């Protein structure tokens, strides 16, 4: 799957995944608009509002899934990938994450602002595009709190058993 390259690239990345990866249905009641891309998201889910994580739900995972990971990512101004939220260690039986919650037993990585939390804070005066990803993992990663999400995300793009993808935009 190609790296996150903007909203137009989100659907292309999902459609262009290697055949070995199963596509997982992913949705959020917070995203209004098309099923794949919401434009824009409510400020409740950004630093202009409550900055709480999106409610998420996903469908069946590929057989043999041992762990689930969820990432919210965007590109920084210089094109580098940035993490807004990263959660690993989610049990395969989990299909829903409630708004503002982290599943019991899951591990949160350090976002690109250095925080151990969800934080979507778009650049001032500019619309920012975000991708929300769910990955099905064949082997547990045994991540520790404050893990660095960007290299993990890049590794999972090519090596996960399955993935789901939705996107949104935000402006501040």
Specify whether the CB–CB gap between 172 and 135 falls below 8 A.
no
Specify whether the CB–CB gap between 68 and 94 falls below 8 A.
yes
Q: Is residue 2 part of a domain?
A: no
Q: What share of the chain is helix, strand, coil (3-state, %, to 5)?
A: 15, 30, 55
Select from 172, 112, 165, 137 the least CA-distant residue to 6. 165
Q: Is residue 1 part of a domain?
A: no
Select from 97, 164, 99, 96 the least CA-distant residue to 136. 164
Q: Is residue 25 part of a domain?
A: yes
For the chain, percent of residues with pLDDT exceeding 70 = 84
Q: Is residue 59 part of a domain?
A: yes
Distance (Å) of CA 44 to CA 40, 121, 162: 12, 11, 29
Q: Is the peptide bond before 40 cis (omega within 30 degrees of 0)?
A: yes
Q: Is residue 95 part of a domain?
A: yes
Q: State which residues form the domain around 33.
A: 7-171
- Whether the predicted pLDDT of 170 surpasses 60: yes
In this predicted model, what pLDDT tens digit does every residue of 60-105 receive, in sequence order?
999 999 999 999 999 987 888 999 999 999 999 999 999 999 999 9
Q: Is residue 110 part of a domain?
A: yes
HSE-up of residue 147 (Cα within 13 Å, Cβ side):
21
Report how many domains make up the chain: 1
Q: Is residue 149 part of a domain?
A: yes
Select from 170, 166, 172 the least CA-distant residue to 72. 166
CATH code, domain with 15: 3.90.280.10
- The first and second tokens of residue 123, run together, are 């650049």
Q: Is residue 155 part of a domain?
A: yes
Q: How confident is the model at residue 5 (pLDDT cuts 50, 70, 90)?
A: very low
Specify whether the CB–CB gap between 156 and 86 falls below 8 A.
no
The whole-angstrom separation of Cα 19 and Cα 84 is: 28
Q: How confident is the model at residue 12 (pLDDT cuts 50, 70, 90)?
A: very low
């Amino acid at each position: 799957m190609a790296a996150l390259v903007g909203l137009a690239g989100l659907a292309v990345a999902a459609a262009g995944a290697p055949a070995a990866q199963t596509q997982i249905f992913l949705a959020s009641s917070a995203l209004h608009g098309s099923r794949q891309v919401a434009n824009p998201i409510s400020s409740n889910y950004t630093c202009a509002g409550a900055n709480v994580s999106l409610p998420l739900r996903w469908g069946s995972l590929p057989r043999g899934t041992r762990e689930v990971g969820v990432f919210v990512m965007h590109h920084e101004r210089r094109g580098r990938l940035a993490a807004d939220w990263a959660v690993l260690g989610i049990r395969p039986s989990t299909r829903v994450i409630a708004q503002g919650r982290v599943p019991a037993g899951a591990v949160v990585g350090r976002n690109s602002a250095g925080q151990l939390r969800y934080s979507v804070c778009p650049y001032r005066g500019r619309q920012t595009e975000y991708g929300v990803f769910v990955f099905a993992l064949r082997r547990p990663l045994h991540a520790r709190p404050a893990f660095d999400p960007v290299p993990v995300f890049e590794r999972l793009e090519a090596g996960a058993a399955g993935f789901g993808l939705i996107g949104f935009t935000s402006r501040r």
